[in-house]
Amino acid sequence: MAGKVKYGIIGTGAIANLHAAALAQIANAELVMVYDTVLERAREFAAKHNCRCAESMEELLASEVHAVTIATPSGVHAQCAIPAACAGKHILCEKPLEITVSKTNDLIRTCETHNVRLSAVFQSRFSTSVRKIKQAVDQGRFGQHVLASASVRWYRTPEYYANAGWRGTWRLDGGGALMNQGIHTVDLLLHFNGDPREVTGRFTRVMHQGIEVEDTVVAMVQFKNGSLGTIEASTACAPGFPRRVELSGTKGSVVLEGDRIIRWDFVEEKPEDEEIRRVCSQSEGTQGGATDPMAISCEGHRRQLQELTDAIQGGSHLTAPGSEGKRAVELICAVYESARTGTSINFL
């Protein structure tokens, strides 16, 4: 594809501003149109970001845009993305891809049928630290994996839920601290440690009694590689702490806090290890939100949108295609099912 990839944004919630800011920094992409069911809000967004406002979804899908980003409430991601895929538009979809496995499968299948790219927003995968850890995993540097944990001890005020009616509902949010806030960290756990074999979960509401979903959840995971792990997520832990992923094996261990590596130790050191410790101990600003959900830069989104744009033009690899987005949804839904039924959930 010659020239710039033309993007549209569907939905003008807070995250849409990050999409627009990221696109503004990509030389071979441009934002040309936006649509929201609340037209006045879409018009204001269009004026702010110097693009056109579509009066309907049909107008956007009939336009010259090559790709769309989905920035709507989670429970309507497929409702917006599937028509876009049928219209031949490539898709960057915010997390989660959808709030159920069946809807996620429908979205992935539609994109495959219509030969469009689907990139699931997991911008944390694009940090230097995460890429170094994944490289070490692929090289077998940790030996046999033993323990893996994901922790999201964040804080949200009651106003966070009250100011957006869809938040904290099963129908549109799909869950609470785990599905909304914890999904990026769950994705990294799977990215580093592979697929689960069995999960047992429990959830509760400690602080946010006015919402339908959980504000605190814990799960124990048995992985197919033989290791054990834990997941914990909350929006009731004041004042909020950086997310944390820990991986320990028979030959080494790593601790990721935010987007910084704070521990990188191996039985067999390599010459590059000291440089990795030095470089990856500094934050790149690609991860945040422990207290303020918008206290993040657009850098992670910029890197992911740059990759999608390049893939549309040249057919290159996607770091987080739809199949990867599905893995986190499957595990989170299994945690919820376990918590509801009081039983362990097995994976095929």
Residues 163-208: tens digit of each pLDDT: 999 999 999 999 999 999 999 999 999 999 999 999 999 999 999 9
Sequence length of the chain is: 348
Cα angle 16, 96, 130 (rounded to 5 degrees) comes to 90
**C-alpha closest to that of 327 among 159, 108, 153:** 108
Is 213 in the same domain as 257? yes
Residues 294-331: tens digit of each pLDDT: 667 899 999 999 999 999 999 789 999 999 999 999 99
Instruction: Identify the bridge partners of residue 345 per DSSP, sorted by sequence position.
Output: 199
Q: Which residue has the higher pLDDT, 287 or 143?
A: 143
Is 76 in the same domain as 187? no
Report, as an integer, the average pLDDT of 90-105: 98
Indicate whether 117 pLDDT > 70.
Answer: yes
**Which one-letter amino acid corresponds to residue 210?**
G
**C-alpha closest to that of 122 among 103, 97, 85:** 97
Task: Give, as one character, the DSSP assignment of residue 178.
Answer: I
Is 280 in the same domain as 141? yes
Would you state the pLDDT for residue 287? 67
CA 169 to CA 171: how far, in whole Å? 5
Is 223 in the same domain as 179? yes
Report, as an integer, the average pLDDT of 264-280: 97
pTM value is 0.96
CA 159 to CA 130: how far, in whole Å? 32
Q: Enumerate residues 6+ apart whose C-beta is below 8 A from 170.
A: 212, 213
% of the chain with per-residue pLDDT over 70: 98
Q: Tokens in use for 49?
A: 């970001």
Number of domains in the chain: 2
Q: Enumerate residues 6+ apart whose C-beta is below 8 A from 253.
A: 142, 246, 247, 263, 265
Alpha carbon of 49 to those of 4, 32, 44, 84, 90: distances in Å?
Answer: 17, 9, 9, 22, 21
Is 145 in the same domain as 233? yes
Asked if 7 and 32 touch (Cβ cutoff 8 Å), the reply is yes
CA 233 to CA 203: how far, in whole Å? 9
Indicate whether 291 pLDDT > 90.
Answer: no
CA 18 to CA 214: how far, in whole Å? 27
Would you state the pLDDT for residue 247? 98
| Structural domain range at position 259 | 128-291+327-346
Report, as an integer, the average pLDDT of 19-41: 98
Is 161 in the same domain as 216? yes
Is 243 in the same domain as 204? yes
Task: List the CATH number of the domain containing 217.
Answer: 3.30.360.10
Would you state the pLDDT for residue 315? 78
